[in-house]
Every structure is written in structure tokens, then in C-alpha cells.
Amino acid sequence: MESGTQSETIGSPTSPNLDSGPSPSPPPHCGQRPPRPQSHSPTFVEIEPDEVGEIDPSAAAAGNKGKKRTSWVWQEFELEEKNGERKAVCTHCKQKLSAKASNGTKHLSDHLLRFCAKRHLRAGGQQTLRFRTKSNGEKKLENHAFNQENSRQELAEMIVMHEYPLSMVDHLGFRRFVSGLNPDFQIISRNTLRSDILTMFENGKSSLRKLLEVNQGRIAVTTDMWTASNQKKGYMAVTAHFVDDEWILRNRTLR
């Protein structure tokens, strides 16, 4: 074999023909480390004071209260917040229940469906009927509208008339008895009862003063004295007797 002849090896790559055209350029950064991206420092833009808007505190507070209330019970409850504690007030009986989001609305729905007597009366459209006796003895059937203030006044007059203790309104039996007669009546505390009695006394004293001022007849004043056996104390009552314009003998305790 001649020395100038090159042997052809199977599987060996064929060298590119230099005369076929220009050789391809190597890929960029081939064999070199890619350059690090240039870090750009943040750009601060100065804002004029007039361009800064104020934050609405009510809107921020509304966002902190949670999601929108979608339960049907909120149609018959009103929210009330006092000393940082939220309460749900029933629009029928004005009872206050917890309105914390963690408690849910199960207790509110139970109150409306099972315990609120006023809601049941209004929802059913029921009316109370009673017989009223006129001065001539005739009885008439009429509608009766419950009034909380009138019932409280009647309770105060009963306590004074029969000298019952003020603690009677705290007795469980009395509360159950009143609830059985009319569940709409809200039992008051002994302090509220005492305030009602004092108010009734001041109103009665003012009415008696006006009545004696317009009276055209004479007034007879009598006194009655006695000693309490258990306290060994003396008491005196002053009573005024007079005849009114209709010729009816009246007597009023002055002291």
C-alpha cells in the first residue's frame, strides 16, 4: 500500500469539507460562564402629600368583621356592640344573645323557632279577645292589646296594696305563674319594682295636691297613732277627708 493512502475507519466521523462553505459559528458563550444579570436597585418615587388618600376606618372595620351575613335569622335580629362585645337583639322580644362568629347561628334559630313567644303570636296572626263589663253591667267582647307599662303599674299597686315584699318578683313560683298567664310580660327585678313604686308615689302626691287646690269645700284632717309591737316604735298617719264636686266623700292619706 502506498503511504499516501489513508485508511477509512468504519464509524469514525467524517471531517467536514472545508470547501463546502463557511463553518458554523459556535453558540454564544460556548465554553464560557454566562454573565450575571445586572441587579437593578428599586426606584423610589416621591409622592406629594396631597396625593395620599385617607383610609376610611369604617371600611377597614367592616373588613375585619368577617364575611357577609347570609343566614335567614339576621332578618329578625339586630346587631348591637357594647364594650367590645357583640350581641344579637331579637326584634320581637328584645332578648340579647351572643353574636360571636365562633358560636354560629344555631342558638339564634332555636330562639326564633322554639322560645320566642312574641314571634309565634305575630307569625300566626293570633289576637287576644276578652269580655269587658260596662258600667251598666253589659258585657262586650273586644280585642285586647298587651301593654308592658300598664302591667308593671298594676304589679306595683298590688305590692303596695297587700304589703308584699319586693323580693316577690324574684320567686320562681311567681315568675312561672305570670309566664303562664301571659308569656309576653317581662318580669322586672326588685330594684326596678322599687323605682316604679317611688315613681307612682311621686305621681300620686302631685295629683293629690292638684285635687286639693281645686276643691271648693272644706277638708277635715284626722290623725291615727299606734305602736308596733315587734319594733316598739310609734307611728302616726294623717288622713284628709273632703267632699268632691260630685258630692262623693273622699279620703286620702297625706302622711
CB-CB contact of 239 with 251 (8 Å)? yes
pLDDT at 120: 60
Angle at 95 between CA 190 and CA 123, to 5 degrees: 125
CB-CB contact of 197 with 156 (8 Å)? yes
pLDDT at 36: 58
Q: Compute the mean pLDDT over every residue in the chain, rounded to the nearest whole number.
A: 74
Q: What is the pLDDT of residues 196-209, one digit of tens each?
A: 999 999 998 888 88
Which residue has better confidence, 45 or 216? 216
Pick the most confident of 99-103, 121-125, 164-168, 213-217.
164-168
Report H helices in the chain: 57-64, 106-110, 117-124, 148-162, 172-181, 190-214
Q: What is the pLDDT of residues 162-211, one digit of tens each?
A: 999 999 999 999 999 998 888 888 889 999 999 999 999 999 888 888 88
pLDDT at 72: 81
CA distances from 118 to 105, 155, 166, 174 (A): 20, 21, 27, 21
CB-count burial class (<10 Å; 0-12, 13-18, 19+) for 46: exposed
CB-CB contact of 169 with 187 (8 Å)? yes
Question: How far is Cα 108 from Cα 69, in angstroms, rounded to an integer?
Answer: 13
Pick the most confident of 19-28, 98-107, 204-213.
204-213
Set of cell numbers at residue 107: 342558638
DSSP string, 177-218: HHHHH-TT--PPPHHHHHHHHHHHHHHHHHHHHHHHHH--S-
pLDDT at 62: 41
Could you identify the residue written with the cell 353574636?
99
